[in-house]
Amino acid sequence: MAASLPLAPQTLTNDVAITSAGKVGMQWQVPTYDGGSPVLDYTISYSIGSGAVTVLASGITQTSFTAN
């Protein structure tokens, strides 16, 4: 049986020890359903208002992220 899409990561939170002007820190827990195959990495993307989605980073293998 082929794997399906996993659910979204859970409990996405701001890491206040890292986040400041011009820097963001996030952490999360793995999804409750992995689609039938282990989650290997994450992609962080964002949009401003109703604008286009921009990929900030991909290939993230842990459940935390810091960007300048």
pLDDT in tens, the chain (68 residues): 677 999 999 999 999 988 998 898 999 999 999 999 999 999 999 899 998 999 999 999 999 999 88
Q: Is 49 left (phi over 0), alpha (psi -120 to 50) or beta?
A: left
R_g of the chain computed on alpha carbons: 14
Q: Are 31 and 10 in contact (CB under 8 A)?
A: yes
C-beta neighbour count of 57 within 10 angstroms: 13
| Predicted pLDDT of residue 1 | 64
Structure tokens at 54: 């921009």
The model carries a pTM of 0.77
Strands 42-46 and 10-14: what pairing?
A: unpaired
CA-to-CA distance for 25 and 13, rounded, in angstroms?
9
